[in-house]
Amino acid sequence: MGSRRHSSLIAVDYGSATVRLLQVEAGHVTALELPCEIFAADPMNGSDDPGGLAEDLERLLRENGIRNTRCAVTLPASAFLVDTVPMPELDEEERLESLAVEAVDRFGVDPNEVTVAALPLRVASAADIASPAPASTPAGPTGGAVSAPGPVALAPPAAPAPSSAPIANAPSSPAPAATPGTEHLLIAVRRSTAMRALDPLLRAKLVPVRLESAALAGLRTAWCHWSRQVDGAIAFVHVEPTMAAMLLARDGELLFHRAIAGSFGVPRVAPATSDSVDPDAIPVEVRSLGADRRAFRWSGLADEILQCLRYVERRSAGQWPAALVTSGPCAGQVELLATLESICGVPSHAVTAAGVVDPLPATLSPSIWAAALGSAAVDLVAAPAERERRAA
């Protein structure tokens, strides 16, 4: 089992009902999982931990000999507010100020209650794809970082490039220069939501250094492998119980992002009872009720994705993805992949850990652990330019 290089950073991924911890150190993968209901009922706002999570985390880390405290945190994509806005050519200071105002206006939130980040679309360089993120810049309550002890910063809203996006009104590393009329992807998270996730980690003596969306971290995982397998754009679909995020990337550039609301959790088929059966109904033979319903429920999502692909195709002179990659608990379902490929006409695959950790332990599903893998990839994958310099 190997990884690109040594890293002891802990990736902490909050799901709808669990929290997953992943550490890759000296080629060894440690993966831990605990039940967690913080984002189960209300993903956008979260709920306070009823108690015990911090103690369980501390015990689990101690029992598994994990001494490092630095961690990168991913939250469900449904916990974030996202939108795409066009911006004129501005200097960096004016651009960040305008983005902050635009985000508050579009999301209808108090600027003191959210952390906002933005990234120009179609501007990142191909060399940024696998480059390590610059160190997070500590910022106070008015500086755009999540208000918490230690340097916690909102990470890029636009993987595949793992380099940090500028946080509105906060000191940060330089972003790629914007071009006239460049569209920006805005992403915001409520500070109260972030703190509900961060508080148990802080009480467990962990030090969060990065916070990002599971969908965008998952795209990084997909990119690490598929950018080496196909020429052209890659479509990525991250599926959660209440929403799906569709992203399109090519040559290190994030071209498109769309959040699609829906009900994509595991279907619960209620058995028919004598009270619910229509005596006048004509019996219909169903070969496989569960399979038929699963296939049908993905057709609406596939139609939405097809419309997104056609929109991008019209705007970019025939841009069409060479592969469609999925992540999330349902990502590996045959019905989902077959429906996407049939309707969208693009070869569809569940995400793989290859390119980040290879091989991943057989007990772990890359689809479920994609966000944690993508978060860890920032520190695991060396930039191509760096490898070329070393080779020279």
pLDDT of 273-328, one tens digit each? 444 444 443 333 334 444 555 557 799 999 999 999 999 898 876 789 999 999 99
How far apart (Å, rounded) are the C-alpha atoms in residues 191 and 49? 16
Judged by DSSP in three states, 231 sits in coil
- CB-based contacts of 345, cutoff 8 Å, min separation 6: none
- Sequence spans of domains, the chain: 2-263+301-380
Tell whether the model's pLDDT for residue 181 goes beyond 90.
no
Q: Answer whether residue 272 shows pLDDT above 70.
A: no
CA contacts within 13 A on the Cβ side of 316: 18
**What local confidence, expressed as pLDDT, does residue 73 receive?**
96
Question: Which residue has tokens 């319903």?
Answer: 293
The more confidently predicted of residues 292 and 369 is 369
Give the pair of three-digit tokens for residue 335: 């019905």
Sign of the dihedral through C-alpha 124, 158, 209, 115: positive
Per residue in 81-126, pLDDT (tens digit) is: 999 888 787 888 887 788 778 888 899 888 888 888 887 777 333 3
d(CA 270, CA 374): 37
- For residue 77, what is the DSSP state? G
Structure tokens at 383: 């930039």
Q: What is the CATH number of domain 2-263+301-380?
A: 3.30.420.380
Query: Residue 20: in which H helix or E strand, if any?
Result: strand 18-25
Instruction: Say if pTM beats, i.e. exceeds, 0.95.
Output: no
Which of 191, 131, 193, 190 minimizes the C-alpha distance to 156? 131
Provide the pLDDT confidence category of residue 251 given band limits of 50, 70 and 90.
confident
Residue with tokens 């209808």: 108
Cβ 338 vs Cβ 302: under 8 Å: no
pLDDT tens, residue by residue, 157-166: 333 433 334 3
Is residue 95 within 8 A of residue 142, CB to CB? The reply is no
Q: Name residue, tokens 């914007």.
A: 178
Residue range 66-94: average pLDDT? 89
The H-or-E segment that residue 324 falls in is strand 323-327
Count CA atoms within 13 Å of residue 317 on its CB side.
0
pLDDT(214) > 90: yes
For residue 54, give Cα distances in angstroms to 49, 151, 238, 335: 9, 20, 28, 38
Average pLDDT, the chain: 76
